Structure 1
């Protein structure tokens, strides 16, 4: 039995070797994505071949939102960096322990700048098992400990090639993959439902606070003038109400419509806005807390103190992933606060699911009405404005407290903000329930895999635990 640094007491009959040895004997490889000199900023286009970047890497798959794309001819020029079914892609910098498995949907995409590709040329079962193995908490910890760089961890092909790997029998591998896949598919399904729910809430926010549909309706009904930039939308809404088809949405209740003005005014910074909504800034409408690094000696992974988030590296679909805790927090975010990345990439958002400590890479905002949903959807809509700050700063992009608080924003009444909050709360509550279910499932997955690999838990016991978890519906 060969020694395995990560799992010294692995089950009898299992094989231990390095990831580099496994890749070589299978005819695969471990290689970096293209360097910046091979792919310039000007090569990216709005529609083309997707290029997987570090921000697109997730344990549960490739994140498609805002994925970079390149021209087909550039993809062919860089064909050696294409990914195919069963490949595993890592980030070379920053959040280096996360990796994603390439599915049929991503076959032929590019392993982008800042990434590493692991290719095991074997049947898909082994590829799926290797991805599950690489997502094991102890394996991820090994990657972090061996990464180079104190400030920004860096990964290279030599480090990944030396990573110890365990290979069970085909029968055991099959059942481990089934357990991993069953839980992962449920997590993916919950995430897809959450994305749909969030899109519904975003659509309502856009209608009320971006397109100003209820204000347009009130303005038309009152016979007040419609500003030229809004005239086309006003005409469409008039036609929609006049048509009165089955697809025509129901009008807002009278008590809700009364919360919206019936005329517009021009704001120097925001343009045409509902009367009374202009002339405000983020610092006037929101509680703003800028993160601060606590003492390094207070960091821990044992759960001592409050959850600690340093930057967007911990961000999940809506809520951040807990990895570190802090026993001496300096700056706190209250539950429901929107967490925004204030260092490049500036503008990415998540929501605090509980009171937590935030580091220098984040700020926490909460509308002064304490409406978490309104805060989250408004900050998310300001993403283009935040991206301007990616080029600010001497070393990397950032936004400071002064610039954040001075950003112009609309100022609807607190009564209207609370009305919006009540309207989207059923959607947000379901998102919270499914997200908490995903957290429980991910924890179960992370608990079962180590015990299976160490021989502490037998497959029938693991299968029973998964079945019980899947039968438990979220509250």
Structure 2
């Protein structure tokens, strides 16, 4: 069937209910089993929560719950616009920045999810949102969103094609998560519990390895207390070329990262790029491949990091750390992840919730002898390289998905 024969419809016509979450603040409970989520908890089609997501009791949930079910799709409509998630029975209840709707049975849920991820819907809500500082999309605007709907078999086929790509992306993401958990578990076993292999291949501390006192507690003999700066060749911050000079930005080919792009993953490419002139006429530094980019500003971003897979730079809200070869990138990465909660506490206690280079450089850590740190880094190198390959494949799959999505939705690519 040609695109012209698809049915013109609206979101209101294909949903049994459409509403939003609580306009207010629930009574939070640290040990509550239900998460209170808003638009920033919706990401890549999933509901994402972490240790900072507010919780509430079952009684509080029951007071404010909405009628979510296996046909529910969530959309962020306040502040951050257009984030999408499928509800899969998670123990959550919604804040006002989340719109929810339940689809009628003769509409494919995956098809509608991808329709909402398309530029057609995203342009619709962003162009018609109200508010200057905080953008808002009304429920009425959501209901009146109109689009062409193909017959159900075609909806399902389009949903299957796009879901196949997303399933592979999700598999790679989960694999990277598992690889990172393994690397961190070994790091803690070696450098927190001090059970690294001794000369006989036995766990050091439990095999009677000699320990000495330090200002950070007992440490293996031959180890020392030092600073982050002691295990790096250099630590410096990035910069921002003047936005007023187009020569610094137009047709740029040097990756320029912002802290919002740091997600503890390999850094493949940046959203913005600068020119050589922009690099030369600003405080930006061109860091080499393998540099760890570390966020300095704005809780909860403080402490987020990424590892460059090619030469790049960043804005002044991040620092670039180049590790000394005898310690290795894998070792420095897990040191930074291990100290992050304490770094974030320092930032949270500050007026602007930032840290500076001095705090990062002088932060005290336990420094092992280089033989042990080098052994750890060599052991983890294969895991970290696999994470890079998985991330690289995901970037390619996302490009394919994003290129065919609008063509499938507009009937340019026909399916049978």
Residue in structure 2 matched with residue 11 of structure 1 by the alignment? 3
CA positional deviation for 1:387: 2.0
Residue in structure 2 matched with residue 280 of structure 1 by the alignment? 226
Residue in structure 1 matched with residue 111 of structure 2 by the alignment? 129
Residue in structure 1 matched with residue 292 of structure 2 by the alignment? 338
Structure with the higher fraction of residues in helix conformation: 1
Contact 2:11 2:146 in 1 (8 A): no
C-alpha distance in 1, partners of 2:268/2:62?
37
Residue in structure 2 matched with residue 294 of structure 1 by the alignment? 241
C-alpha distance in 2, partners of 1:164/1:176?
19
CA positional deviation for 1:450: 1.3
C-alpha distance in 2, partners of 1:444/1:285?
41
Structure with the higher fraction of residues in strand conformation: 2
The number of equivalent residue pairs is: 401
CA positional deviation for 1:291: 3.4
CA positional deviation for 1:213: 0.7
Contact 1:23 1:119 in 2 (8 A): no
Residue in structure 2 matched with residue 318 of structure 1 by the alignment? 265
The root-mean-square deviation of aligned C-alpha atoms, in Å, is: 3.6
Post-superposition Cα deviations, 1:300-320, rounded to whole Å, max 9, x if no partner, equal: 9997423333223x3456235
Contact 1:60 1:184 in 2 (8 A): no
Given the alignment, which residue of 27, 35, 42 partners 1:50? Answer: 35
C-alpha distance in 2, partners of 1:371/1:273?
20
C-alpha distance in 2, partners of 1:442/1:321?
13
1:271 aligns with 2:217: yes
1:96 aligns with 2:96: no
Moved more, 205-214 or 118-127: 118-127
C-alpha distance in 2, partners of 1:146/1:289?
42
Unaligned runs of 5+ in 1: 1-9, 223-232, 242-261, 461-475
CA positional deviation for 1:129: 1.6
Residue in structure 1 matched with residue 46 of structure 2 by the alignment? 61
CA positional deviation for 1:170: 1.7
After TM superposition, the score normalised by the length of structure 1 is: 0.73
Moved more, 443-452 or 69-78: 69-78
CA positional deviation for 1:11: 2.7
Post-superposition Cα deviations, 1:351-401, rounded to whole Å, max 9, x if no partner, equal: 33333332244333232227222222221111211220342444x522122
After superposition, the Cα gap between the structure-2 partners of 1:289 and 1:120, relative to the gap in structure 1 and judged at 3 Å, is: farther
Secondary structure at the residue paired with 2:16? coil
CA positional deviation for 1:177: 0.4
Unaligned runs of 5+ in 2: none
Residue in structure 1 matched with residue 187 of structure 2 by the alignment? 205
Residue in structure 2 matched with residue 77 of structure 1 by the alignment? 63
C-alpha distance in 2, partners of 1:148/1:331?
39
Contact 1:392 1:399 in 2 (8 A): no
Residue in structure 2 matched with residue 168 of structure 1 by the alignment? 150
After superposition, the Cα gap between the structure-2 partners of 1:416 and 1:442, relative to the gap in structure 1 and judged at 3 Å, is: same
C-alpha distance in 2, partners of 1:366/1:124?
56
